[in-house]
Structure 1
Amino acid sequence: MLAVCEKHVELYKELDAYIEELKGKKGILINVLHKAQELFGWLPQEVQDHVAKKLNIPSSVVYGVVTFYNFFSTKPKGKNQIKICLGTACYVKGADRVMERFLNELGVEESEVTKDGKFSVHGVRCLGACSMAPVVLVGEKDFYGKVTPDMVPGIIKKYKGEG
């Protein structure tokens, strides 16, 4: 459950203001869910229920949309999401060892968030950069190619001081 704290109260206010801006327009649910995930980092049941109430739709409809689209998450993710391509080209060139090193260095299982909330590690099917295999994406824009397990500590270090 999300703790009721000042930060969450502010996030709900911001979400409500966004919903008010869109009210009356058709098909706003996905936009509202994107905004909610941007604000909270994920879509816990409490947030889904809040969206349903504000949009006057059943929670089951919101849940159905959240679980249908893979870009929505019902689990917390780290501030820095590390995505390791496990597609064929990357796997053949050692992506499994890179993944293992990230998990060991951070002390987490796949898709689990570090205790400080800074990192989560996710295996993905393809990042579209086969010529640079194996590839790692941190966040939405920091791409690393031809990654070896020995490069992992240096990559992590770049993001340790954030947040």
Structure 2
Amino acid sequence: MVETRDLVKTLADKHGRSREALIPILQGIIQEERFLTQETMTEVAEELNISAAQVYGTATFYSFLDTEPRGFYVIRVCRTITCSMKGKNAILQTIEELLKIKVGETTQNRKFTLLETNCLGWCHKGPAMLINDEAYTELDPDKVREIISEHMKK
């Protein structure tokens, strides 16, 4: 695995060292390391010559920039009113029962984390969820059981 300092430098070389490069750099770190540590955010601040508070504020504002360890599969269920009206609560309940965790928790084997998130952009096909970067739409409890069961086998 690449040292964090080297990764931050490589990403800054690629995206630049302006304030506008902050999100692409943080996304690159997430892709490589799965979450942002305080140490990593401090290194980004130093590399971009901005305050650590600015980096932390940005990282904690966006739900896709994780600042704590997550499972290998991060399940993000859309919590918009549209998805709620189309059965989001039944989807969450099904996932919680299958994985034996609640929203915000990670399974003991660190394979799954369950989160709710703001709009995923699939309101017309809700309820929707993401597992890592893969979207699943028009969900119902049976479809969710099938999807989660497939991921459990991997």
Smaller-chain TM-score bracket? 0.7 to 0.9
Please state how far the C-alpha of 1:106 moved relative to its aligned partner: 0.9
Give 1:102 shift: 0.4
Q: Which amino acid aligns with 2:96?
A: L
Which protein is bigger by CA-based radius of gyration?
Answer: 1
Tell me what 1:44 maps to.
37
- Equivalent of residue 102 in structure 1, options 95, 99, 108: 95
For residue 53 of structure 1, the aligned residue among 24, 46, 53 is 46
What displacement does 1:83 show? 2.1
Percent identical pairs in the alignment equals: 28
Measured in 2, the distance between the counterparts of 1:62 and 1:124 equals: 21
Q: Counterpart of 1:160?
A: 152
Residues 11, 40 of structure 1: 8 Å contact kept? no
Matched residues in 2 for 1:116 and 1:142: separation? 23
C-alpha deviation, 1:104, in angstroms: 1.9
Q: Offset of 1:47 from its aligned partner? A: 1.3
Question: Any stretches of 5+ residues in structure 1 without a counterpart?
Answer: 1-6
SS at match of 1:122: strand
- 2:75 partner SS: strand
Give the TM-score normalised by the residue count of structure 2.
0.78
In structure 2, relative to structure 1, the CA distance for the partners of 1:95 and 1:70 (3 Å cut) is closer
For these two proteins, the number of residue pairs brought into alignment is: 152
2:110 equivalent in structure 1: 117
SS in 1 for 2:136: strand
Q: In the alignment, which residue of structure 2 is the partner of 1:4?
A: none
Matched with 1:140 is: 133
Q: What is the TM-score with the length of structure 1 in the denominator?
A: 0.75
Runs of 4+ displaced beyond 6 Å: none
- Any stretches of 5+ residues in structure 2 without a counterpart? none
